[in-house]
Structure 1
Amino acid sequence: MFAVENGLQGDPRLQAISDAIRVIPHFPKTGIMFQDITTLLLDPVAFKHVIDIFVDRYKHMNISLVAGVEARGFIFGPPIALAIGAKFVPLRKPGKLPE
Structure 2
Amino acid sequence: MGFETWIRDIPNFPKEGILFRDITPLLADGKAYRKAIEQLSDFARSCRAEMIVGPEARGYVVGAPLAVMTECGFAPVRKSGKLPGETIRETYSLEYGEDALEIHTDAIRPGMRVLVADDLLATGGTMQATVKLVQRLGGHVVGAAFLIELVALGGRARLEGIPVVTLVQYDG
TM-score greater than 0.5 by the shorter chain: yes
Higher normalized helix content (fraction of residues):
1
Change (3 A) 1:93 1:29: closer
Q: Number of residues paired by the alignment?
A: 85
Gaps of 5+ in 1: 1-12
TM-score using structure 1 length: 0.76
- Residue aligning to 1:46: 32
For residues 72-91 of structure 1, the aligned pairs below 5 Å read 72-91=58-77
**Separation in 2, partners of 1:63, 1:41:** 24
User: How far off is 1:24 after superposition?
Assistant: 0.9
SS in 2 for 1:59: helix
User: How far off is 1:30 after superposition?
Assistant: 3.1
What per-residue deviation string (whole Å, max 9, x for no partner) do you get for residues 11-56 of structure 1?
xx1x2x2111111112223321111111111011221121011111
TM-score using structure 2 length: 0.46
Gaps of 5+ in 2: 86-172
- Residue aligning to 2:46: 60
User: How far off is 1:87 after superposition?
Assistant: 0.6
**Separation in 1, partners of 2:80, 2:12:** 32
Identity among equivalent pairs (%): 41
- Residue aligning to 1:4: none
The runs of at least 4 aligned residues of structure 1 exceeding 3 Å deviation read none
CA RMSD of aligned residues (A): 1.3
1:83 aligned partner, one-letter code = M
